[in-house]
Structure 1
Amino acid sequence: MMPFASQVDGFTLRPSRLIVAAPVLVIAALAILVWRDPYAIVRAEYARQRIAAGLTQRSVDAGGHRWIYAERAADRADAPTLVLLHGYTGSKENWYRLAEQFDRRYRLVIPDLPGWGQSERRPGADYGYAAQAENVAAFIDHISEQPVVLVGHSMGGGIVAVVAARHPRRVSQVALLDASGVRFKDNQFGLDVLAGRNPFAVTDAAGLERYLDILFHDRDARPAIPWPASHAVISQRRADGDFEQSVLDRIGRGDERFLPYDLAADIDQPVLLLWCQQDQVIDASAMAIFAARMPQARQVLLDGCGHMSLMEQPAAVAQAVSELIAKGTPR
């Protein structure tokens, strides 16, 4: 008998054959998993990014919704808590590159907003600025006993503005990154929204490419979405199409589309306004328009990035937010 060989139903399995068979079996198992749940590969990559950023996934019930969020503790109990809110069609994973830029001077809390990502979506619920602001206020009550530094990108920035104005005791400082909810110089994105279209709609590979082209100016910063992950993303976005349209009807064309701007004058906290010069979604002209309502706000305009400042220039964004926390205003 050959050493380290075994008999199975009369066949001899030698070590060399086992070594060859093992990866084949793993690949087959992964193929079955992806076939049954195509989005599994996307979730696996998100988990890898979360772990790399030192974040832990948690959940909480707040505001009538089940929230899923990522958290990283600070190195001291009295450290500031940063709550980071993603934008329209986004998720908590959009913040992971930025999270890696922050050290443990801060506690990081990064949720999927209700209706988005892994957090609960209730049929027929309102996910506009005002309703989401109340949801966020309830979430803050559950995750922090002290006021938080509230940072929002795009739609999340509009929500942050409403929370800061209506719930000032929950918010110590405000950062609005390429924030929506304000009138700005006409661009193709805005004209499409007013015409009833969803410029972010994704139903096929070409739509996914257009979506990324609108969001990112720096192509090197775009996330790689190879097949079969791209197939899973397209399928998920197609399934979310009606929900996306319902939210856009509220925040892009409805009566509250300028609610963040209207309430900005009531924001007394220190404010950071940060934009990218090449933003094709919320034109950079919006920054000065917001600033006119908040004379205490400091403005940071980055060059060489589009709508996704938090992913295209995370180091610069982290520096500006850190200075907001340390000094009350960024440099």
Structure 2
Amino acid sequence: MLKKSHFTAVALLLSVMLLSACSRQGIYETAIGFERASAGLEADNITVGDLEIAYLRNAEANNGDTIVLVHGFGANKDNWTRIARELTDSFNVYAIDLPGHGESSKPLDLGYRFEEQVAHLAGILEALGINEMHMMGNSMGGGITALYTATHPEQIKSAVLFDPAGILDYENEMVGMVLAGDNPLIPGKPGDFDRLMDFALEKRPFVPWPILGVMEEKAIANQEVNQVIFAAIKEVGFTPDFRNAIERIESPVLIVWGKEDRILDYRNGAVFQKAIPGSQLEILEGIGHAPMIEAPEESARLFLEFAKPFISKAD
């Protein structure tokens, strides 16, 4: 949820823009810029091979550790601004648009299986000069974070998995919907994005209608690449390879799951905990698929308490 002062500032900003007859796109860009600035972040991009990669980073660097944030399927770097607001004073935060997402390149033939996305992310972080970090991931990004942690143990100081994909011992209503040909995660027509937000989030944050409309247009425009990515990742929860890989994890791992998650059942959290040596599990009552959006302050607090022994002291 937005803090009252932040909510008031956003509402005032939107009122002024509506009165000045700004376009929906202009309102969207201004509001997103305000969210980023309020979180102490600014947008940047980097070329990695043939890919253009967009990301957010601290507007002002500090002497703290680095945190890399990895969004979920069909999402983007701006899913992290609310939790980043709790972190950028003490950490250097990087929220990456993975290939195929957000403002990054979206080649259909890149390869989007989990292990391929880990390789893409490793290349991006190498290009950014990041070789040691805390990493957080949500949903697909949680699965990528877990696999990255298993693959590059020397780089990960701690990892947080928010409702991670990769294990489907317990299924819920979304599996049946996908099998029936109705995937709520891939908007294809007007109204689908609003449905997605209601389905994914138990505590839906305030998003003014002009911004929601632009977000829906972007999601519908990405339908083709989203279908390609979903086809590449949808089987991972039914195969043993992922589970076998994360059993090798050596870094400290915190698993945070919203109990009301309708996309990935929270009971899979205990399975993750059993698979990852020494990991800890927190189940959040009244929260859905994206704790870092629905409960950013609580999510940040859980990370800070868990990672305290592994955070470098600033000079």
TM-score by length of 1: 0.81
Give the counterpart of 1:53 among 39, 63, 75.
39
Of 179-188 and 233-242, deviating more is 233-242
Give the counterpart of 2:286 among 286, 304, 317.
304
1:259 CA displacement: 4.7
Residue correspondence of structure 1 range 224-303 to structure 2 within 5 A: 224-226=207-209, 228-253=210-235, 259-303=241-285
Following the alignment from structure 1 to structure 2, what is the Cα–Cα distance between the partners of residues 70 and 209? Answer: 25
Following the alignment from structure 1 to structure 2, what is the Cα–Cα distance between the partners of residues 166 and 51? Answer: 33
Letter in 1 for 2:62: D
Letter in 2 for 1:70: L
Of 81-90 and 163-172, deviating more is 163-172
User: Is contact 1:150–1:160 with CA below 8 Å preserved after alignment?
Assistant: yes
User: Is contact 1:212–1:222 with CA below 8 Å preserved after alignment?
Assistant: no
SS at match of 1:108: strand
Question: Rg bigger for which structure?
Answer: 1
Letter in 2 for 1:172: K
Letter in 2 for 1:208: F
1:122 CA displacement: 1.8
Q: Give the match for residue 150 of structure 1.
A: 135
SS at match of 2:47: strand
SS at match of 1:150: strand
Q: Give the match for residue 62 of structure 1.
A: 48
1:229 CA displacement: 3.3
Q: Give the match for residue 128 of structure 1.
A: 113
Gaps of 5+ in 2: 1-15
Q: Give the match for residue 6 of structure 1.
A: none
SS at match of 2:191: helix
How many residue pairs match? The answer is 294
Q: Give the match for residue 91 of structure 1.
A: 76
User: Is contact 1:74–1:105 with CA below 8 Å preserved after alignment?
Assistant: no
Mapped pair 1:222 → 2:205: yes
1:66 CA displacement: 1.5
Q: Give the match for residue 298 of structure 2.
A: 316
1:146 CA displacement: 3.8
SS at match of 1:115: coil
1:100 CA displacement: 0.8
Deviations 1:154-206 (CA, angstroms, capped at 9, x unpaired): 11011111111112222221111100011132211122234454222323443
Give the counterpart of 1:173 among 158, 175, 189.
158
User: Is contact 1:83–1:151 with CA below 8 Å preserved after alignment?
Assistant: yes
User: Is contact 1:148–1:171 with CA below 8 Å preserved after alignment?
Assistant: yes
Describe the shift of the 1:137–1:277 C-alpha distance in structure 2 as closer, same or farther (beyond 3 A). Answer: same
Of 166-175 and 154-163, deviating more is 166-175
Identity of aligned residues (%): 25
User: Is contact 1:137–1:170 with CA below 8 Å preserved after alignment?
Assistant: no
The root-mean-square deviation of aligned C-alpha atoms, in Å, is: 2.4
Mapped pair 1:141 → 2:123: no
Q: Give the match for residue 44 of structure 1.
A: 30
Gaps of 5+ in 1: 1-22
Deviations 1:227-280 (CA, angstroms, capped at 9, x unpaired): x43333332222211211111111113698665433110111000111011111
Describe the shift of the 1:289–1:93 C-alpha distance in structure 2 as closer, same or farther (beyond 3 A). Answer: same
SS at match of 2:154: helix
1:286 CA displacement: 1.1
User: Is contact 2:83–2:299 with CA below 8 Å preserved after alignment?
Assistant: yes
Describe the shift of the 1:196–1:47 C-alpha distance in structure 2 as closer, same or farther (beyond 3 A). Answer: same
Following the alignment from structure 1 to structure 2, what is the Cα–Cα distance between the partners of residues 138 and 67? Answer: 11
Following the alignment from structure 2 to structure 1, what is the Cα–Cα distance between the partners of residues 46 and 199? Answer: 33
Deviations 1:106-127 (CA, angstroms, capped at 9, x unpaired): 1111111111001111232212
Following the alignment from structure 1 to structure 2, what is the Cα–Cα distance between the partners of residues 122 and 255? Answer: 24
Following the alignment from structure 1 to structure 2, what is the Cα–Cα distance between the partners of residues 186 and 159? Answer: 20
Describe the shift of the 1:257–1:251 C-alpha distance in structure 2 as closer, same or farther (beyond 3 A). Answer: farther
